[in-house]
Structure 1
Amino acid sequence: MSNYNQGNQQLKKIWQSSLFSDKLSVLVADSDYSQKDFIGEQVKHEDVVTITRVRSDRVFYRQFIRDPNQAKTSGHPRWYGDKFDLKDDQTWTEPDEVHHVPFTTKKGRQLTVTISGWKQMLMRGTKNYKMNNHPFTLLQIVVRDQERNSIWKPMWLIVIGSRRDELSLVDCYQCYRQRYDMEHLFRFGKQRLLMTSYLTPDVHHEEN
């Protein structure tokens, strides 16, 4: 049984409730939830977009696009194109979009967030989860100071779901940032409320 089975079942009940019916909802989770046996269940819900952090050692693939002038061949269709290794920038293609977002920290420090996005990415699937049917957008988040020095390691996010293009790259990043506010609650719960046995993704509701 999948380690995520309980969480998947709980979320299934949430998505089926009238509160979330036909409305775009964003599920935000850390890298523990970036595996196909979790997000492979979430993509079954048409109105859910899942944004998860991924470890920097993951390998993804560009979606293979057949040349329309090339004759079709018999046999198994090709789904996966070039490899995209997060730890090897030589495998990266030019991003489809790049956005630079300035912000000021609580201490007055001026920083710039660079959000780069690659669309129509794929991860390898399994017999139970045909992930070639579910392309996603891959985001790289880099934070720099006024001297253009990177101050943290780059963060990688995947954005998956049939309605993902309704969110801009900046929207996706801001949705994920809301998780940081929740971390204070998680810390308090673990220290004071004995909530030490839970890994809880966060659900955000997007108004049209």
Structure 2
Amino acid sequence: MSLPCASVPEDAIGQLSCFRTELYACLTARGDALFELTDALLCTEGPVRTLVDLALAPEHRRSHGALYGGLNQGRIDIARLQRALTGLPLPRAADGRLVLAVDVSPWLRPDANTCPDRSFCHTFGRGEGKHQMVPGWPYSFVAALEAGRTSWTAVLDAVRLEPGADVAAVTAVQLREVVDRLIAAGQWQEGDHEVLVVLDAGYDGPRIALLLAGLPVQIMSRLRSDRVMRRPTPSRVYDPKGGRPPKHGGEFIFGDASTWGAEQAVTSTDTRLYGKATAQAWDRLHPRLTRRAAWLKHDGPLPIIEGTVIRLVVEKLPSGGVNKPVWLWWSGTGATEADVDRCWQSFLRRFDIEHTFRLFKQTLGWTKPRLRSSEAADRWTWLVIAAYAQLRLGRPLATDLRRPWEKPAPPNKLTPARIRRGFRNLYTKTGSPAGAPKPSHPGPGRPPGSKNRHPATQHDVGRVLATGEAFSRPAHHNVGTKPRRGTLPPHPRTEGSHPFGFDCSIA
């Protein structure tokens, strides 16, 4: 089902008004304060620097205390809001299929010792040590990608990763729920192309493909250049000496061209940025699994997960960086030249979600609030997602209020930040379902000069040992000391890193 309106209007104003009404219905506690906070986020001019500044916007008719009260004590029906986002018109690829991108973006809180549920987040490009582990709240986002060069995506879901979470297992559950909602909303029907899910390095693509078996999805992930794959199991031949038959074929070493053999398909495409792009594909390759890490407690024999390996090489790089080949793994087999081109071009579109993260952090101020509760951080994250969805619905209605130094852009090419400049004009057309504030007086608070006799509890950053058990510091280390950040090996996922080697990091 789509939005629970009697009939979703065809005009853009009707769609935007209908979504705003449904958003207000999703705010089950302190809804007026949360809804006006979202309007202030959309209508405030310039980037959001601090959370309390939003209380000064004309659209926020309440005090700054109501702003923080809504985030700390409010409630949001997340399931209903997820269904509302899924029921909106979604972008599709040129062939009509849905392309989903999954990525993790951190909300860094290195000095927030009183905040619970913090994990070590991998960051890139911070100071001289490019790879660092900084405490914070990592969020896993799922977004639908558009075709062509654009900075727009359609964010469908966000999940905060708990300390020590199995990223592949959490991602698989998140994707399964998103695909089920897409099917229930009529976004995918029997006979349509399978949904393509694009993952960056750091995700175990074959394992996620196995966990999503039975769903109409295809998985495509980037692989490290030092991987070794195996060919299909050879035909069993009688051996008079006996012995167990082999389970895996010969090795396919990414760094050794002598082991590649003949390609399944080869394509060559002229691109505007990279010059000539050549893609080679080898069919029915699989990783050799061992009983360790995630496969330690797997029941039965280890599976053989076959797919297609694609090697992409470009002629040049726009920034003049190191030109390295990109290795991709696609869960499908029997790839044609059209499949190979669609796969690597869809993978490059995955980096559009980096523009969404940059908008969330630099313009909408997603990581600006210094909230103590992780539940309040979740509420603020969903308000930012809801605000971004309204910007997407306002694309055909916005007027280009460009700066004198900016180039004119057609209405369908406006960026989210430029549409936000004129959202105050759309706000007057759609109206607000929030009720008027009631007169009130602030409480007395703590008497001046008195000390806080109930200090907040300090929490260690969530760490998990190699055995899977939670880390606990010895008791004698907790006396008179502050929580330590600790050290963990760097996560293989690098937010903002470009597949061909040059840096496109975001703030």
Task: Please give the TM-score of this superposition, normalised by the length of structure 2.
Answer: 0.33
Q: Which residue of 2 aligns with 1:169?
A: 340
Distance in 1 between residues matched to 2:246 and 2:337, nearest whole Å: 28
1:193 maps onto 2:193 in alignment: no
Q: Which residue of 1 aligns with 2:266?
A: 98
CA drift at 1:41: 1.1
Q: Which residue of 2 aligns with 1:38?
A: 208
What one-letter code is carried by the residue in structure 2 that aligns with 1:50?
A: I
CA drift at 1:91: 2.1
Q: 1:7 to 1:27 in 2, by over 3 A?
A: same
Q: Which residue of 1 aligns with 2:282?
A: 118
Q: 1:164 to 1:8 in 2, by over 3 A?
A: farther
Distance in 1 between residues matched to 2:209 and 2:226, nearest whole Å: 18
Give the number of aligned pairs: 187
1:80 maps onto 2:255 in alignment: no
Contact 1:15 1:45 in 2 (8 A): no
Distance in 2 between residues matched to 1:166 and 1:8, nearest whole Å: 28
Supply the RMSD in Å over aligned alpha carbons: 3.4
Q: Which residue of 2 aligns with 1:50?
A: 219
Contact 1:144 1:151 in 2 (8 A): no
Identical-residue share of aligned pairs (%): 23
Q: 1:194 to 1:38 in 2, by over 3 A?
A: farther
1:144 maps onto 2:312 in alignment: no
Distance in 2 between residues matched to 1:102 and 1:194, nearest whole Å: 39
What one-letter code is carried by the residue in structure 2 that aligns with 1:97?
A: A
Match of 2:355 among 170, 180, 184: 184
Match of 1:61 among 220, 230, 237: 230
Distance in 1 between residues matched to 2:243 and 2:366, nearest whole Å: 57
Q: Within 5 Å, which residues of 2 pair with 1:17-28? A: 17=181, 18=183, 19-22=187-190, 23=192, 24-28=194-198
Distance in 2 between residues matched to 1:143 and 1:123, nearest whole Å: 26
SS in 2 for 1:79: coil
Task: Please give the TM-score of this superposition, normalised by the length of structure 1.
Answer: 0.74
Structure 1 residues not aligned, in runs of 5+:
200-208
CA drift at 1:116: 0.1
Q: Which residue of 2 aligns with 1:205?
A: none
Distance in 2 between residues matched to 1:163 and 1:21, nearest whole Å: 24
Identify the structure with the greater strand proportion. 1
What one-letter code is carried by the residue in structure 1 that aligns with 2:178?
A: I
CA drift at 1:54: 0.6
Greater radius of gyration (CA): 2
What one-letter code is carried by the residue in structure 1 that aligns with 2:342?
A: D
1:7 maps onto 2:171 in alignment: yes
Q: Which has the higher contact order (CA 8 A, sep 6+)?
A: 1
Contact 1:46 1:162 in 2 (8 A): no
SS in 2 for 1:90: helix
Contact 1:28 1:175 in 2 (8 A): yes
